[in-house]
Amino acid sequence: MVSQRRACFAVSKIFSPRAWAVFLLVVAADVLDLLSTTVTNVAAPTIVRELGASSSLVPWLGASYTLAMGSLMIVGGRLGDRFGCRRLFLIGLAGFTLCSLTAAVATTSFVLVASRTGQGVFGGLLIPQGFILLMRVIPRESMGTVFGLFGPLIAVSSISGPVVAGLLIEADPFGLSWRSVFLLDVLLGVLILVVGRKAIPPFDSDASIRIRPGAALTLMAGLGLLLAGLIDGGASEWTDRAVTATTAGTVVLAAFGWQQARTRRPLLERSLFTNRGFVAGLVFGALFFSTVTGTMYVTTLYLQQRLSLSPFHAALVTAPVSVGIIAASFTARSRVVSHGRGVISIGVLLFALGIIGMTIVIGVERHPVPLISVPLFVAGLGMGCCFGAVFAVALGDVNPAQAGSASGVLNAVQQIVNAAGSAVVSTVYLATATPSGPSSGVLPCLLLTLAITVACAMSIPLLPRRGAHLH
């Protein structure tokens, strides 16, 4: 087993065309995930209208996907080690593609949310294998170059993805409307699967690895019940069903925490939580990513539902956010290691200024487009500063031997809080929106965002001063 692994790494030192093919496949898989994450920001109003569903479907379109993915990502990497990263990559991709197809043909809210959950489950198997595959086929000394290319490709996708989704919905090819977006996922998934079967070489698995998926499933169940109660409560004024779901979710999560505190093999490495810098980074990341995701979700809802913009037009209006993210990411990248905490401080300040600007423009202007694009760009600059720095700074004081486990925790938490953020903030939007006020709903969400941003700022002094070398 060991000799085979050494031979595998020896062969991988040759930077071959196959290595580049694997790199492009991993990028394509991440683009597929990015499209599926952002599509509901653009398509949600159209989906709700054409399915004849209630507004309570809106939070679940995004939350069902990211919640399932975040919960499974915690064990996804270990499953790849146990059964083989190539096998798990292809299984995850095949399942993701199949669930995209069921989403495209869904005729009820239940089937669509179940399909989105399935996408998240298989995405949680697919995405963690990408980094493992890159480490297997690309020499370590070339990883910096690879990640230097990885960032711009994903950044371009973050801009083009929502625009393409909006264009497809507006063009309405063959009368498919929003379904065409999921069919695009199917087309991309099939292409990646066909190429991947030929291009990705087989790798050893390690049958000695023991995995207990029950903890991850318990975590997903507890979070799902809690979010279900919060969403239902916001939409139905806290009926018995909402209270029961919230209570059950809280009890399940408490039982999960109690069991994890006593088991010899916890789902999350306990020693990480004795590191103040890591915990502070985890808390900051949870707050920041949740509010960013929720705010962008609600902004798109506001543009389409309140200002009656088409999905394509709404995607164009919010495109400056992605432009700001790209600009700040490239500018701040070289300073993260030496001035990580300072970069985050500037990012939080810029994000807060952008949200304040949006609040003023929406509150004063009855027709805030295109003026709203200016504060959106400023908020994007703040996001770009923080996105590239949060993980590096959180890992700044982590022992190198624990870096892999810590990075996995951060990625999983990011997905989970993305689900919570989009669900909670969009629920606040739906609960406070009134037919007569064009800015109702969105202004309370922006004020909530500012309050959470202040909490983020208060945690900054606890962060490590410098960031870790991630590549």
| SS3 state of residue 372 | coil
Q: Are residues 261 and 284 in the same domain?
A: no
Q: Are residues 372 and 320 in the same domain?
A: yes
Q: Are residues 237 and 156 in the same domain?
A: no
Instruction: Give me the number of domains the chain comprises.
Output: 3
Section 7-23 average pLDDT: 61
Q: Are residues 71 and 93 in the same domain?
A: yes
Identify the pLDDT of residue 149.
64
Identify the pLDDT of residue 441.
83
| Domain assignment of residue 417, yes or no | yes
Identify the pLDDT of residue 168.
86
Q: Which domain holds residue 332?
A: 272-471
Would you say residue 6 has pLDDT above 50? no
Helix residue ranges, H only, 172-213: 179-199
Q: How confident is the model at residue 9 (pLDDT cuts 50, 70, 90)?
A: very low
Most confident of 76-80, 222-226, 317-321, 430-434: 317-321
> What whole-number distance in Å separates Cα of residue 324 and Cα of residue 383?
8
Q: What percent of the chain has pLDDT over 90?
A: 26
Section 290-303 average pLDDT: 87
Identify the pLDDT of residue 227.
75
Least confident of 98-102, 256-260, 442-446: 256-260
Q: Are residues 276 and 259 in the same domain?
A: no
Q: Which residue has the tokens 């991850």?
A: 216
> What whole-number distance in Å separates Cα of residue 158 and Cα of residue 163?
9
> What whole-number distance in Å separates Cα of residue 422 and Cα of residue 300?
12
Section 368-395 average pLDDT: 88
| Domain assignment of residue 385, yes or no | yes
> What whole-number distance in Å separates Cα of residue 342 and Cα of residue 232?
40
> What whole-number distance in Å separates Cα of residue 281 and Cα of residue 224?
24
| Domain assignment of residue 3, yes or no | no
Q: How confident is the model at residue 357 (pLDDT cuts 50, 70, 90)?
A: very high
Identify the pLDDT of residue 279.
87
> What whole-number distance in Å separates Cα of residue 408 and Cα of residue 405?
5
| Domain assignment of residue 205, yes or no | no
Q: Which residues contact 265 (CB under 8 A, 6 or more apart)?
A: 210, 212
CA atoms 128, 163, 295, 179: torsion sign: negative
Find the angle CA(184)-CA(21)-CA(117) to the nearest 5 degrees: 40
The CATH number linked to 313 is: 1.20.1250.20
DSSP string computed for 11-44: HHTS--HHHHHHHHHHHHHHHHHHHHHHHHHHHH
Mean pLDDT of the chain: 82
CB distance 67 to 231 below 8 Å: no
| Domain assignment of residue 347, yes or no | yes
> What whole-number distance in Å separates Cα of residue 290 and Cα of residue 306?
23
Q: Are residues 146 and 238 in the same domain?
A: no
Would you say residue 400 has pLDDT above 70? no
Section 85-90 average pLDDT: 91
Identify the pLDDT of residue 450.
95
Q: Give the residue, 304 or 434, on which the prediction is more confident.
A: 304
Section 314-328 average pLDDT: 88
Least confident of 131-145, 373-387, 449-463: 131-145
Would you say residue 448 has pLDDT above 80? yes
Residue at which a domain ends, from 165, 200, 235 = 200
Identify the pLDDT of residue 193.
95
Q: Are residues 37 and 156 in the same domain?
A: yes
Section 412-416 average pLDDT: 75
Would you say residue 70 has pLDDT above 50? yes
Burial (Cβ within 10 Å: 0-12, 13-18, ≥19) of residue 30: middle
Q: Give the residue, 102 or 230, on which the prediction is more confident.
A: 102
Section 338-360 average pLDDT: 93
Would you say residue 306 has pLDDT above 70? yes
Residue at which a domain ends, from 179, 200, 221 = 200
Least confident of 34-38, 205-209, 257-261, 404-408: 404-408
CA atoms 256, 261, 265, 270: torsion sign: positive
Percent of the chain that is helix, strand, coil (3-state, to 5): 85, 0, 15
Would you say residue 45 has pLDDT above 80? yes
Q: How confident is the model at residue 116 (pLDDT cuts 50, 70, 90)?
A: very high
Q: Are residues 362 and 291 in the same domain?
A: yes
Q: Are residues 293 and 403 in the same domain?
A: yes
DSSP string computed for 74-129: HHHHHHHHHH-HHHHHHHHHHHHHHHHHHHHT--SHHHHHHHHHHHHHHHHHHHHH
Query: How crowded is the C-beta side of 261, counted as CA atoms within 13 Å?
Result: 6
Q: Are residues 223 and 136 in the same domain?
A: no
Would you say residue 12 has pLDDT above 50? no
Side chain identity, residue 314: A
Identify the pLDDT of residue 456.
92
Identify the pLDDT of residue 270.
74
Q: Which residues contact 19 (CB under 8 A, 6 or more apart)?
A: 12, 137, 138
Q: Which residue has the tokens 């919640």?
A: 67
| Domain assignment of residue 147, yes or no | yes
Would you say residue 11 has pLDDT above 50? no
| Domain assignment of residue 441, yes or no | yes
For residue 345 the two structure tokens come to 């401080």
Q: Are residues 217 and 172 in the same domain?
A: no
Tell me, yes or no, if the pTM score tops 0.95: no
Side chain identity, residue 110: F
How many Cβ atoms are within 10 Å of 40's Cβ, its own excluded? 26
How many Cβ atoms are within 10 Å of 400's Cβ, its own excluded? 9
Would you say residue 232 has pLDDT above 90? no
| Domain assignment of residue 180, yes or no | yes
CA 449 to chain CA centroid, Å, is: 18
CB distance 225 to 247 below 8 Å: no
Q: Are residues 189 and 41 in the same domain?
A: yes
